[in-house]
Structure 1
Amino acid sequence: MASPSRPRPQLVAANAPAEEAPRRRSQVNLSDQAYERIEELLICCELRPGRFLATHDLQALVGFGRTPVHQAVSRLAADTLLIVTPRHGIQIAPIDLTRERVLLRLRRDIERFVIRLATERSGASQRNQMLHIRRQLIEHGAEMTIEQFNLIDRRIDQLFLAAANEPFVESTLRPLHTIFRRIGWIYHMQTAHSVKLQRTVDGHIAVIDAVAKGQVDTAIAASDDLMDFVESMFDVLEREVAPALLDCSLDSFDDPFLRLPASAK
């Protein structure tokens, strides 16, 4: 007698991974959006350097759920822009001008590498996009706010990295761009030099022009000139910006110098 047939084991539907893929892509996209939103708040110091806050506070501030914000925070902590501590939550990393002067040397060298590759490898479509941005800067740069300029600056950086076609450097260069956009924002918004963006705009026009025309040496020289300008910001920041703007936890300290009578100062 033939043995009764056993039920076959149920196989996982072949299309299950495909059904899960959009959900995973959605999570990744939300994580990127949360990262970019927090990055924007860091650059304009709405998230003040030195500030402590809980994850749920950050969620409410940026309007994203727990998982995208947690993933974004992990990335920003790896970028050294946030500090995560078990009992104190999240701290916006204070600005250390001495450290950031050193990081500018690193950025200068990586920018040279990226600019060389972008000049040598950029395709026609990428060069057309560069020239379009160049025209925007020439026509509207004088009236731009720092926030408007930063949006264009991010697009320029993305174009150069895409043209260079070397993904290895992006994870290093992106947080450096964020660090120095914040330096630029403070320089233009919190010092006596806050009126004019023209020097920054002209520097970017020179780099774009040389890259789009395939002039490697000129492009690298223009990039170096732009880094020289960024370096010049540090003397101004050290002289004019109150330490509490670089680390808001210093607000709680009473400066004994401020208590001296005018005749003793």
Structure 2
Amino acid sequence: MQNSQSHLAYLALEHAIVTLALQPGALVTEKQLIDLAGHGRTPVREAIQKLAWQRLIFVRPRVGLQVAEIKPGDHSHVMQVRRELEPIAAALVAEHATEAQRNQLVECARAMADCAISGDLAAFFSADKAFDEILEEACPNAFITSALAPVQTHSRRLWYSTASPDRMDRSISLHVAVIRAIQQGNAAEAAKVMTVLIDYLGHK
């Protein structure tokens, strides 16, 4: 997985947006984001560019940077994309993931299981982001992953705004089932369980 300074800055800012530490619609300065990310100006600027591409931050001329608002139709729109593409991605990953990537997914499953015990929502969302990035690296179809990456983050933020420990537990069990199918190289099962997971996440 990537560990460049710009990617670490991106992960820090993405997590702050997903967990609503950066409130939807908030105006922020570059300096505030530098302080929040804990990285220098260049990595943070690169992170802002990626967040802008994902429509999580908007660069407003003469105003500054604005965190994307949450709009009424966002949930159904992002789930529409995920429902179509994510089962295909899971099946491809089950077929093509390297041994190292499968092992990384097992570590994600362990981290998620720990969150089920601790009830730590923020830690679960970090593990979920890691899960998405491993799938992105392991999936051989870059067109699918390019479409999925932004909507996964938007979905995570929307879900966090209404999340509860009970809902997290069910989500974790379904994530673990997907990981198990991928670990076993069972493409059909990976797609099937991913469909169940997306359907579950689609209910607000």
Q: TM > 0.5 between the two? A: yes
Given candidates 78, 98, 101, the residue that maps to 1:126 is 101
- In the superposition, the TM-score normalised over structure 2's length comes to 0.86
Instruction: Using the TM superposition, name which of 130-139 and 224-233 deviates more.
Output: 130-139
Q: Distance in 1 between matches of 2:50 and 2:57?
A: 9
- In the superposition, the TM-score normalised over structure 1's length comes to 0.68
Match of 1:80 in 2: 55
Q: Distance in 2 between matches of 1:91 and 1:157?
A: 25
Match of 2:27 in 1: 52
Point out the structure with max Rg over C-alpha: 1
Match of 1:11 in 2: none
Given candidates 163, 175, 197, the residue that maps to 2:138 is 163
Question: Alignment partner of 1:119: what SS?
Answer: helix
Q: What whole-Å deviation, never above 9, does each CA across 1:70-109 have from its counterpart, x for those lacking one?
A: 2221221111101111111011110113133112111222
Given candidates 176, 198, 202, the residue that maps to 1:205 is 176
Q: Distance in 1 between matches of 2:7 and 2:112?
A: 27
Corresponding position: 1:187 with 2:155: no
Task: Report deviation, 1:205.
Answer: 1.3
Given candidates 188, 194, 199, the residue that maps to 1:223 is 194
Query: Which AA in structure 2 matches 1:76?
Result: L
User: Over the residues paired in the alignment, what is the CA RMSD in angstroms?
Assistant: 2.2
| 8 A contact 2:18–2:154 mirrored in 1 | yes
Count of residue pairs brought into register by the alignment: 201
Change (3 A) 1:97 1:208: farther
Q: What whole-Å deviation, never above 9, does each CA across 1:199-258 have from its counterpart, x for those lacking one?
A: 11111011112222222222111111111111101xxxxxxxxxxxxxxxxxxxxxxxxx
| 8 A contact 2:75–2:158 mirrored in 1 | no
Change (3 A) 1:126 1:76: closer
- Gapped runs of 5+ residues in structure 2? none
Q: What whole-Å deviation, never above 9, does each CA across 1:37-85 have from its counterpart, x for those lacking one?
A: 1111101101000111222232233333332222221221111101111
Task: Report deviation, 1:138.
Answer: 4.8
- Gapped runs of 5+ residues in structure 1? 1-27, 189-193, 234-265
Percent of residue pairs bearing the same amino acid type: 29
| 8 A contact 2:78–2:152 mirrored in 1 | no
Task: Report deviation, 1:154.
Answer: 2.2
Task: Report deviation, 1:155.
Answer: 2.4
Change (3 A) 1:72 1:128: closer
Match of 1:34 in 2: 9
Q: Distance in 2 between matches of 1:124 and 1:213?
A: 11
